[in-house]
């Protein structure tokens, strides 16, 4: 702005004109600030208050404050089991997404094919199709007499249907599908910014292709790997629809439990405490991971 | 480079291609299966379909619950898109053109709804709506929730369109005597149009498919299409559900094609 005012021919009204638009420009962002301040920041502060309320009968919460909800959330064996299961789910889905997503991202970032646009849409489209619809697709595929079981029986490979859903396997498959684009997209961005000639240089110095990839491109794509894995891990922890639809009564995650506490049992303080304990665990895991990978990437460099 | 390593490279290349193809197939599989199921002439969700038919789309259009839910979802998505587009575009203009020291903080704040778990935001909003006495009797809270979640998509798309050109064109228009409003409509708006279209369409599609927010913030007796489909699948398992899903997939596809067209148009002009 300052640089271009120098070039502007009408320099006379600058001071007045330049200050008026700036103070008026505040109105451009004011609606967003009000929306985010009132309906995002305040509610998040309020949820902390709610987790400190005592439970009540016939009302969502009682008067006064207590730490009891956290006490229960951290000592109840069942709740801790569900918390552990949820974290484990995140720790399974994330590496699988990385393993499946990295080659696709690398190819998509480097390809000069005229189908690149279509491939990009293919990666993006699952993200845009609703999560209920996608989980429904997996329901059709994985159910007792679903597409996969029927095909396997018709081929004579199995006699009775395999248990592919209402268990951890079904939830994992569907979650990998749901969150794979969140792994691929950040990776594509980072890999595109790596100069391909670096790898070519390593190869011309005698490195094998695998070695050139492992020593040059892979370390340089660390930021993308980090962004993608953190995103998928956090999203998996808070997933609700997919575990309900494909896990049945067998797979309980914290989100399922929280919604149960809120809607079915009308226990708002307990639900708030459970949700915050999960969020804290997720943040601790991400922080530990960031520390670990920082040391790791320093070692690589 | 010796012959052996070249053969090894070629084999690895082929294997990698097969692997990548398999991942793309995995991404598409559930969507393709749903579309095929919705065209099934049979009574149940069977594969392969027992002949092709549009009967389940007929069943869908005769299903009052689904049609009402679809109307609600379309109206809600339209409201959320208008809200997010107005608020997000203003915010993008400010952050890119006017903010200086606060730019990074504002950008982070505006992207926050995307980074926070949707279900936690929905819970927080539910509590807040009750604490303030607003409640969920009206659609206010639901619309606010949808605007919150879709805001980052509009913001980021418009902001990146704005980053691609500096403000000198507007200033040229202004110095030639155009009013700020006129400079905005005649210069800025055409320049950010691709970002605006992409952001708004993204917002619409995301809002149309939003589940957690609607589950927690809907009023009693109200339902959206994803919620209705979710409930339906608890009791029924017939191709009507596949027909609903196909309608939602086609809607998404239309939006993606539209985005592709508008972005393609831009590359045609500037690339």
B26 within some domain:
no
Strands, E assignment, chain B:
none
B49 within some domain:
no
* CA–CA gap between residue B263 and residue A167 (Å, rounded): 42
Q: How far apart are the first and last CA of chain A?
A: 40
User: Can you give the CATH number for the domain in which B207 is found?
Assistant: 1.10.3720.10
B73 within some domain:
yes
The answer to whether the Cβ–Cβ distance between B94 and A141 falls below 8 Å is no
The answer to whether the Cβ–Cβ distance between A60 and B110 falls below 8 Å is no
Q: Is B168 on the interface with A (CB under 8 A)?
A: yes
Closest residue to A138, CB basis, from B16, B30, B126: B30
- Please answer whether residues A285 and A87 qualify as being in contact, where contact means their C-beta atoms are separated by less than 8 angstroms: yes
Q: What is the mean pLDDT of chain A?
A: 83
- Please answer whether residues A53 and A61 qualify as being in contact, where contact means their C-beta atoms are separated by less than 8 angstroms: yes
* pLDDT tier, A18 (very low <50, low <70, confident <90, very high otherwise): very low
What mean pLDDT do residues A8-15 have? 40
Coil/strand/helix, residue B52: strand
The answer to whether the Cβ–Cβ distance between A129 and B249 falls below 8 Å is yes
Which of B30, B44, B107 to mutate against chain A (most A CBs within 10 Å)? B30
B145 within some domain:
yes
Residues B84-104 have pLDDT tens digits of 999 999 999 999 888 888 888
Whether the predicted pLDDT of A9 surpasses 50? no
B112 within some domain:
yes
Which domains does chain A show, CATH number per domain? Answer: 70-300 (1.10.3720.10)
The answer to whether the Cβ–Cβ distance between B27 and A103 falls below 8 Å is no
Nearest CA to CA, how far is B115 from chain A (Å)? Answer: 8
Q: Which of A217, A274, A211, A272 is nearest to A53 (CA)?
A: A272
The answer to whether the Cβ–Cβ distance between B168 and A4 falls below 8 Å is yes
B19: chain A residues, CB-CB within 8 Å: 103
* CA–CA gap between residue A249 and residue A245 (Å, rounded): 9
Query: pTM of the prediction?
Result: 0.84
Q: Which residue has the higher pLDDT, B64 or A60?
A: B64
Phi, psi of A19 (to 5 degrees): -80, -40
Nearest CA to CA, how far is B189 from chain A (Å)? Answer: 15
* CA–CA gap between residue B143 and residue A202 (Å, rounded): 54
Q: Is B125 on the interface with A (CB under 8 A)?
A: yes
* CA–CA gap between residue B203 and residue B45 (Å, rounded): 32
Q: How many structural domains does chain B have?
A: 1
The full DSSP string for B113-181 is HHHS-HHHHHHHHHHHHHHTT--SSSSHHHHHHHHHHHHHHHHHHHHHHHHTS-THHHHHHHHTT--HH
Structure tokens, B19: 């692997």
B1 within some domain:
no
What does the pLDDT profile of chain B (271 residues) look like in tens digits?
A: 456 667 877 888 899 999 999 999 999 999 999 988 888 877 766 666 677 788 888 888 888 999 999 999 999 999 999 999 999 999 999 998 888 888 889 988 998 888 888 889 999 999 999 889 888 888 999 999 999 999 998 998 888 888 777 778 888 888 888 888 888 888 888 888 888 888 898 899 899 999 999 999 998 889 999 999 999 988 777 788 889 999 999 988 888 778 777 664 333 222 1
Q: What is the pLDDT of residue A6?
A: 37
Question: Do you find a cis peptide bond into A22, omega within 30 degrees of 0?
Answer: no
Residue of B nearest to A10 (CA): B175
The answer to whether the Cβ–Cβ distance between A104 and B23 falls below 8 Å is yes
* CA–CA gap between residue B180 and residue A28 (Å, rounded): 13
Q: Is A152 on the interface with B (CB under 8 A)?
A: no
DSSP symbol at A262: I
Q: Which range has the worst mean pLDDT, A24-33, A195-204, A265-274?
A: A195-204
The answer to whether the Cβ–Cβ distance between A42 and B128 falls below 8 Å is yes
Q: What is the pLDDT of residue B229?
A: 93
* CA–CA gap between residue B210 and residue A181 (Å, rounded): 17
Q: Is B135 on the interface with A (CB under 8 A)?
A: no
Domain that holds residue B207: 64-270
- Give whole-number Cα distances, B180 to A47, B173, B190, in Å: 42, 9, 15
B41 within some domain:
no
Rounding to the nearest 10 degrees, give the CA dihedral for residues B180, B186, B191, B192: 60
Residue B87: how many CA atoms within 13 Å on its side-chain side?
24
Partner B, chain A 271-290, Cβ-Cβ below 8 Å? 271-272, 275, 279
- Give whole-number Cα distances, A41 to A199, A272, A280, B249, in Å: 45, 16, 17, 34
Q: What is the pLDDT of residue B72?
A: 94
B80 within some domain:
yes
- Please answer whether residues A131 and A174 qualify as being in contact, where contact means their C-beta atoms are separated by less than 8 angstroms: no
Whether the predicted pLDDT of A15 surpasses 50? no
Q: Is B235 on the interface with A (CB under 8 A)?
A: no
Could you tell me where the DSSP H helices lie in chain A? 2-7, 14-36, 42-51, 68-75, 77-110, 116-128, 131-142, 147-154, 168-192, 196-204, 209-212, 218-220, 222-237, 241-247, 254-259, 268-300
């Amino acid at each position: 702005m300052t640089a271009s005012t120098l070039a502007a021919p009408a320099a006379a009204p600058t001071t007045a004109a330049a200050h008026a638009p700036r103070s008026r420009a505040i109105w451009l962002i004011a609606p967003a600030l009000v929306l985010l301040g009132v309906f995002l920041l305040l509610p998040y502060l309020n949820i902390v208050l709610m987790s400190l309320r005592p439970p009540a009968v016939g009302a969502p919460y009682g008067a006064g404050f207590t730490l009891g909800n956290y006490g229960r959330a951290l000592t109840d064996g069942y709740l801790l089991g569900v918390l552990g299961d949820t974290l484990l789910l995140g720790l399974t889905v994330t590496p699988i997404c990385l393993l499946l997503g990295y080659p696709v991202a690398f190819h998509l970032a480097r390809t000069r094919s005229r189908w690149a646009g279509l491939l990009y849409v293919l990666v993006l489209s699952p993200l845009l199709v609703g999560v209920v619809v996608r989980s429904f697709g997996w329901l059709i595929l994985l159910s007792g007499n679903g597409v996969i079981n029927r095909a396997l029986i018709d081929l004579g490979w199995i006699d009775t249907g395999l248990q592919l859903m209402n268990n951890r396997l079904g939830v994992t498959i569907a979650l990998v599908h749901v969150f794979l684009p969140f792994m691929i997209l950040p990776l594509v961005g980072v890999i595109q910014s790596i100069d391909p000639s670096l790898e070519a240089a390593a190869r011309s110095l005698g490195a094998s292709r695998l070695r050139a990839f492992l020593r040059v491109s892979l370390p340089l794509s660390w930021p993308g790997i980090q962004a993608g894995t953190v995103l998928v891990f956090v999203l998996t922890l808070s997933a609700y629809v997919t575990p309900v639809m494909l896990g049945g009564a067998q797979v309980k995650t914290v989100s399922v439990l929280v919604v149960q506490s809120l809607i079915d049992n009308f226990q708002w303080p307990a639900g708030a405490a459970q949700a915050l304990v999960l969020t804290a665990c997720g943040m601790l895991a991400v922080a530990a991971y960031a520390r670990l990978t920082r040391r790791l990437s320093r070692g690589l460099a | 480079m010796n012959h052996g390593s070249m053969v090894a490279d070629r084999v690895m290349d082929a294997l990698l291609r097969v692997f990548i193809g398999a991942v793309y197939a995995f991404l598409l599989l559930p969507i393709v299966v749903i579309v095929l199921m919705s065209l099934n002439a049979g009574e149940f969700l069977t594969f392969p379909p027992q002949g092709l038919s549009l009967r389940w789309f007929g069943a869908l259009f005769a299903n009052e619950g689904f049609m009402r839910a679809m109307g609600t979802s379309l109206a809600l998505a339209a409201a959320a898109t208008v809200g997010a587009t107005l608020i997000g575009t203003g915010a993008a203009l400010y952050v890119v053109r006017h903010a200086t020291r606060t730019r990074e903080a504002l950008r982070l704040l505006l992207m926050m709804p995307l980074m926070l778990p949707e279900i936690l935001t929905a819970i927080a909003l539910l509590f807040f709506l009750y604490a303030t006495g607003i409640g969920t009797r009206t659609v206010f809270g639901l619309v606010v929730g949808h605007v919150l979640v879709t805001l980052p998509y509009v913001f980021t798309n418009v902001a990146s369109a704005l980053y691609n050109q500096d403000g000198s064109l507007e200033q040229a228009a202004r110095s030639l005597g155009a009013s700020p409003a006129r400079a905005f409509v005649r210069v800025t708006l055409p320049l950010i149009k691709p970002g605006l279209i992409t952001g708004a369409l993204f917002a619409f599609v995301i809002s149309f498919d939003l589940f957690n927010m609607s589950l927690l913030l809907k009023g009693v007796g109200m339902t959206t299409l994803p919620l209705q489909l979710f409930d339906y699948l608890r009791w029924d398992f017939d191709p009507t559900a596949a027909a609903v899903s196909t309608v939602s997939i086609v809607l998404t596809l239309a939006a993606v094609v539209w985005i592709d067209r508008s972005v393609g148009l831009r590359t045609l002009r500037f690339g």
